[in-house]
C-alpha cells in the first residue's frame, strides 16, 4: 500500500492545532509536524474555558497554525492526500471554525475532506504511537470524557462503561479552582499532590460498591469543597494553609486514581474474557498525562500480563496529530466526507 499523508485540524476545545501525519507503506505512522497553540491565558481570568472566546481565538489562529504545520513538515498542500478535521464532539463554535477552515482548504485544493470524531482521535492514538493491533481496550479520560472502549476496528468502538456525571479532568479543574490554583487544573493538582498526605481526608470512592465499569466524580468535588471549608474554618477564616492545600490535592488525586484503577480492573476482566491474541490496555486523553494514574494502571497491567500503552504526554492532551491519524484510518476504510460535512456538538462513538 502506498504512503498516505494527511493534514489534521483540531479546535474542539481550547487548543488550536494542526498536524501533518504520514502512514508509511509498512503501516507505521510518522508525525511530520504537530503544532498546538493553547489558549490558557485567554481564559485564565474566567476560571474555565469560555466558548465564545475559544471560538474567536480558533478562527484567528487556524490559518497560522495550519501554515506552521505545513512548513514544519516540509510539505506543500499539493503533497497531501487529504484533510482531516475534528467534526465533533466539542464546543460547537470551535468545531465550526475548524470545519470551515478544512472545507475552505478542501474546496481550494480539491483534496478529500474527512470528518473525524474527537474521541476516535484519542482512542486510535495508541495505533499511531505503538501500532497496536485490534482489538484493544482503552480508557479515554479527559476534561470532557471518561469511558472504557473496546476498540474493535477504526470505526467500531464498544463502550464498556463510563462516567455518569463529571469527567475526571473536569473534577481536577474544579478542584484547582476551589483551591485557587491556575487552569488547567490537572497538572497543578498533580504537582501539589506529590508533597501531600493522601490519607488525611477520607474522600469517597463513588460507585466502587456497584458492579460494572460506570464511574461518578461529582460527589468527590462536593467532598473536596466541604473539606476545604473545614480547613478554612480551622484557621478562623484566614484562608487555606499551604499544607492543607497539598493534602487536599493528594487526597483528591488518590480517590480518582483508586476509582480509575478498580474500574479498569473490571473492564480488563471483561476484555480478557474474550481472549484476544495480543491483549493490550491503553490510556488516552488529558488525564492520562497524570503520572500517578499512569503508574497505577501500569502496575495493574503488569500484574495481569497485559501490554500497557500510554502515549507521550503531548499526544494525550488535545492535538491534531491524533485527528490526522484517525483520518488516515477512516480514509483507508473508504470513509471520506464532502462539503456537506457538519459540525456536531454531540457525537457518541
Interface with ligand KG4 (CB under 6 A): 13, 142-144, 169-170, 172-173, 184-187, 190, 285-287, 289-290, 317-318
Q: Which amino acids are annotated as binding site for substrate, given as ranges?
A: 140-144, 173, 186, 190, 290
Check residue 216 for interaction with Zn ion (CB under 5 A): no
- In the three-class reduction of DSSP (H, G, I as helix; E, B as strand; rest coil), residue 181 is classed as coil
* Annotation: binding site for Fe cation: 118, 122, 318
**Spacing of C-alpha 126 from chain mean position:** 12
CB of 336 to ligand KG4, least distance (A): 25
- Binding Zn ion by CB under 5 A: which of 173, 214, 318, 337? 318
Q: How far is the CB of 340 from ligand KG4 (least distance, A)?
A: 26
Which of positions 139-158 make contact with Zn ion (CB under 5 A)? 142
Q: Which is nearer to Zn ion, 259 or 315 (CB)?
A: 315
Tell me the three cell numbers of residue 94: 470551535
CA 106 vs. chain centroid, Å, equals 27
Least distance CB 122 / Zn ion (angstroms): 6
Least distance CB 253 / ligand KG4 (angstroms): 8
Which SS3 state, helix, strand or coil, does residue 34 take?
Answer: strand
Nearest distance in Å: CB 231, Zn ion: 32
Alpha-carbon distance 49 to 171, whole Å? Answer: 14
DSSP secondary structure string for all residues of 267-336: HHHHHHTT--SS-EEEEESGGGG-HHHHHHHHHHHHHHT-EEE---HHHHSS-SHHHHHHHHHHHHTT--
Give binding residues as ranges: 118, 122, 140-144, 173, 186, 190, 290, 318
Order of strands across the sheet that contains 113-117: 29-38, 15-23, 4-10, 82-88, 113-117
Which CB atom, from 185 or from 251, has the smaller least distance to ligand KG4? 185
Instruction: Verify binding: residue 247, Zn ion, rule CB under 5 A.
Output: no
Could you list the residues that contact Zn ion (CB under 5 A)? 142, 318
Amino acid at each position: 500500500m502506498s504512503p498516505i499523508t494527511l493534514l489534521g485540524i483540531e479546535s474542539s476545545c481550547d487548543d488550536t492545532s494542526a498536524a501533518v501525519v504520514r502512514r508509511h507503506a509498512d503501516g507505521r505512522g510518522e508525525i511530520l509536524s504537530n503544532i498546538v497553540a493553547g489558549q490558557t491565558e485567554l481564559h485564565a481570568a474566567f476560571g474555565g474555558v469560555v466558548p465564545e472566546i475559544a471560538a474567536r481565538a480558533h478562527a484567528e489562529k487556524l490559518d497560522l497554525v495550519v501554515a506552521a504545520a505545513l512548513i514544519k513538515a516540509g510539505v506543500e498542500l499539493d503533497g497531501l492526500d487529504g484533510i482531516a478535521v475534528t467534526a465533533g464532539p466539542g464546543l460547537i463554535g470551535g468545531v465550526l471554525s475548524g470545519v470551515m477552515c478544512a472545507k475552505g482548504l478542501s474546496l481550494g485544493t480539491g483534496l478529500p475532506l474527512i470528518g473525524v470524531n474527537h474521541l476516535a482521535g484519542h482512542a486510535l492514538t495508541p495505533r499511531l504511537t505503538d501500532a497496536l493491533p485490534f482489538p484493544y481496550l482503552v480508557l479515554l479520560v479527559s476534561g470532557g470524557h471518561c469511558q472504557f472502549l473496546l476498540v474493535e476496528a477504526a470505526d467500531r468502538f464498544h463502550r464498556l462503561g463510563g462516567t455518569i456525571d463529571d469527567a475526571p479532568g473536569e473534577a481536577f479543574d474544579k478542584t484547582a479552582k476551589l483551591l485557587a490554583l491556575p487552569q488547567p487544573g490537572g497538572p497543578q493538582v498533580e504537582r501539589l499532590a506529590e508533597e501531600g498526605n493522601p490519607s488525611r481526608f477520607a474522600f469517597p470512592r463513588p460507585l466502587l460498591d456497584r458492579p460494572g465499569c460506570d464511574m461518578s466524580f461529582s460527589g468527590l468535588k462536593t467532598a473536596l469543597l466541604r473539606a476545604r471549608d473545614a480547613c478554612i474554618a480551622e484557621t478562623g477564616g484566614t484562608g487555606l494553609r499551604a499544607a492543607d492545600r497539598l493534602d487536599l490535592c493528594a487526597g483528591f488525586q488518590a480517590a480518582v486514581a483508586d476509582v480509575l484503577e478498580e474500574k479498569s480492573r473490571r473492564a480488563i476482566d471483561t476484555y480478557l474474557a474474550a481472549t484476544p491474541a495480543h491483549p493490550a490496555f491503553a490510556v488516552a486523553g488529558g488525564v492520562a498525562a497524570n503520572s500517578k494514574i499512569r503508574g497505577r494502571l501500569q502496575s495493574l497491567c503488569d500484574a495481569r500480563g497485559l501490554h500497557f500503552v500510554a502515549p507521550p504526554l503531548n499526544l494525550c492532551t488535545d492535538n491534531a496529530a491524533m485527528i490526522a491519524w484517525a483520518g488516515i484510518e477512516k480514509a483507508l476504510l473508504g470513509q471520506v466526507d464532502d462539503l456537506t460535512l457538519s459540525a456536531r456538538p454531540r457525537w457518541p462513538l
